[in-house]
Amino acid sequence: MLANVEWLYPDDPRLWRHLGAAAAVGAHPIIVARHVAPMTFPLLGTFNARAIQFYELLVDTVTDATGAAANTLGLPRLRMPSALPAHPVMGQLRRLVAERPGAPWVPDAPTAFADAMALGFGDGERDIHQLLTWAETHSELPTAWVNGLRSWSTGQRADRPSSMRRPATSETEASTGYGRKTVKSRVPFRV
């Protein structure tokens, strides 16, 4: 999943194949992807799986010109695979591997997980409505996540359904320059 340009959403069969393979051997799943959609994290948390976001695009070669062109076009930063050992994501990956419990991985919400595997979520594309139907039948899945999935299924695929968004926050702090108050706003946005 590392080099894939697309975001990783909860209905992505690659996610389910990875979780199914981890369950088959009892390995604790760690997903390394370029970008994980925010609504995927609650699902991973429910199954006690982890994800690390890489953000950059892997390409065969990067020159100063291609890197500058990508930056000018607003594309993600380009990186060659040979430069991966120096990427901060590798430190995060090493930390997660070191924190793994010694016991084999058994997904939390085992009934929901087993049903997803039986429905073939990893075998091919499942549409959002199939995912929602599955989610609504399992009370062990987070209610807020199921509600977010419900709103996502009625509209366009978005970064995060409005029911799962944190409201924008504002805080006022003193400026160091002219003694005036500055309002700093933290608004979620999609890159």
What pLDDT is stored for residue 178 in this prediction?
43
Q: Across-strand partners of 58? A: 79
What pLDDT is stored for residue 132 in this prediction?
92
Residue ranges in the chain whose pLDDT is less than 70: 1-5, 71, 75, 125, 156-191
- Each residue's pLDDT tens digit, 73-104: 776 777 777 777 787 888 888 888 888 888 89
What pLDDT is stored for residue 191 in this prediction?
45
What pLDDT is stored for residue 46 in this prediction?
92
Phi (first) and psi of residue 153, to 5 degrees:
-70, -20
Q: Are 122 and 17 in contact (CB under 8 A)?
A: yes
Residue spans of the domains in the chain: they are 13-164
